[in-house]
Structure 1
Amino acid sequence: MASADSTGSSVSGRPRSGDLLHAGLAVALMLGVWGVGGLEVTTGKLSLIEALNGSTVLLPCSYSSCIGIKNLYFSWKYENNGSDVTLCESVIPSEDVEPKVKVTHDRVEFVGSSKTNNISILLWNITFEDEGVYACFARNPKEKNRNHTARLILRVVDQMKEVDNTLTTMIVSAVGGVIGLIVIFMAIKALVVHFLHKDDEKNKECLVSSSGNDNTENGLSGAKADKKGTPKA
């Protein structure tokens, strides 16, 4: 049922369009802040790591959150044909507080630090059986248990592939040759301009000298003519 306000106008019990607009903006703002500051973990730019059999390999992982963390749970797991094997796990109480990591694999070492948001691990003396997918997981209760997982693939090889730098060498040589030709051309051009400038200066000096000589000779001839034309007393 409609009611009347102090001005006598009828007010409906349904929410006004302005209230709906404000509520929508508030929800959108909250979602925007949630999306920008949400927890994320990353294993770097490479999703595939190749390592020699018997070597030690670093499995990188880091986390970020603009909102901050509290009791952040993280773990490393080895995914093998649908069965996950936990390698290590821990909880970071707050920022800059180092976690007490529980390592459940004899060849795994935690090398991260909460001061740098780093939760990387080392895998020692790898074998071909260590090939597969490794998952870095984190969950942040401060963000209503928002969680994220980043994965990378480890490939174990007998020997590392030699990188063929033939094409790179050819390109560098070609570019160097072009640069060298440009430098030589500029040097020759500078020398030619220099000699032409000198020739111009010599020509100007010759013209000046010739003009002075002509004027001098003309003056002397006139003087002689005047002397010869003067009658003796």
Structure 2
Amino acid sequence: MAGPGVRGAPARWLGIGLWGLFLLRGCLSLEVSVGKATTIYAVNGTEILLPCTFSSCIGFENLRFWWSYNSSDTFKILIDGTVKNEKSDPKVKLRDEERITLVGSTKEKMNNISILLRDLEFSDTGKYTCHVRNPREYYLEHQATIFLQVVDKLEVVDNTLMRIILAVVGGVIGLLIFVLLLKKLITFILKKTQEKKKECLVSSSGNDNTENGLPGSKAEEKPPTKV
């Protein structure tokens, strides 16, 4: 009959295996990013770069990527392509229109699959999602979305109020620093003045004792008069 240690071994190894699978699962996860800005603005008739990068801790092979556009009444695939491996540049298999250009590259481990959208129109306003699927990760899809707003002109942000606030705050901080320095200077001068007064008092007291022939004075050093 098997002992308790033998019976518990399969369960222990199963737990270790599940924990290892969990760690491996976390490592397998792709990360897709379109930058920190969730909304970008562009002027009608110009061009805009829609950024997208990906990363994987185990690498990739025959990775598929595509960009989709979604507005209130439209959904379409803008561009579809693949990346064979880390040493290969992305290749486009499907393009919705000529205004879209893939500007990505995997060189220097950038894993860049950004696109350039030219001759912007107001109808281009909407959500742009970058999708990535890695066969090494059981074909799970990862994505990141950025919102594009096409405008007639970019509004110039008036920073006058902000500059005034910064100037006031800077002035207050400068004044506080000046007050602290002035306080230290006054404290130093008062301290030196008190030390000089003490020295004068000690010196004056010594002179009085000498003149009055008190003990410890020069009068005490005279020899007694002989009769």
Query: TM class, shorter-chain normalised?
Result: 0.7 to 0.9
Paired position in structure 2 for 1:113: 105
Paired position in structure 1 for 2:178: 184
Paired with 1:117 and 1:205, the residues of 2 have a C-alpha distance of: 78
Shift of 1:143: 1.8
Change (3 A) 1:101 1:217: same
Alignment of 1:70-219 (within 5 A): 70-80=61-71, 81-86=73-78, 88-102=79-93, 104=95, 105-114=97-106, 115-166=109-160, 168-219=162-213
Deviation per CA, 1:61-86, whole angstroms, max 9, x where unpaired?
11121121011111223235353132
CA contact (8 A) 2:45 2:121 kept: yes
Q: Sequence identity, in percent?
A: 43
Letter in 1 for 2:145: R
Q: TM-score, normalised by structure 2?
A: 0.79
Q: How many residues align?
A: 216
Structure 1: which 4+ aligned runs deviate by more than 4 Å?
220-223
Over alpha carbons, which structure has the higher Rg? Answer: 1
Deviation per CA, 1:69-128, whole angstroms, max 9, x where unpaired?
011111223235353132x33221111322233562222222221130111111122111
Letter in 2 for 1:112: G
CA contact (8 A) 2:60 2:136 kept: yes
Comparing 58-67 with 190-199, greater Cα deviation is found at 190-199
Shift of 1:174: 3.7
SS of 1:97's equivalent? Answer: coil
Letter in 1 for 2:167: S
Change (3 A) 1:185 1:91: same
Paired with 1:40 and 1:221, the residues of 2 have a C-alpha distance of: 94
CA contact (8 A) 1:55 1:124 kept: yes
Structure 1: any 5+ residue segments left out of the alignment?
1-8
Change (3 A) 1:171 1:96: farther
Letter in 2 for 1:155: Q
Paired with 2:88 and 2:16, the residues of 1 have a C-alpha distance of: 37
CA contact (8 A) 2:42 2:154 kept: yes
SS of 1:101's equivalent? Answer: strand
Structure 2: any 5+ residue segments left out of the alignment?
none
Paired with 2:102 and 2:126, the residues of 1 have a C-alpha distance of: 19
Deviation per CA, 1:168-197, whole angstroms, max 9, x where unpaired?
335423432331222121222122123212
Shift of 1:161: 2.8
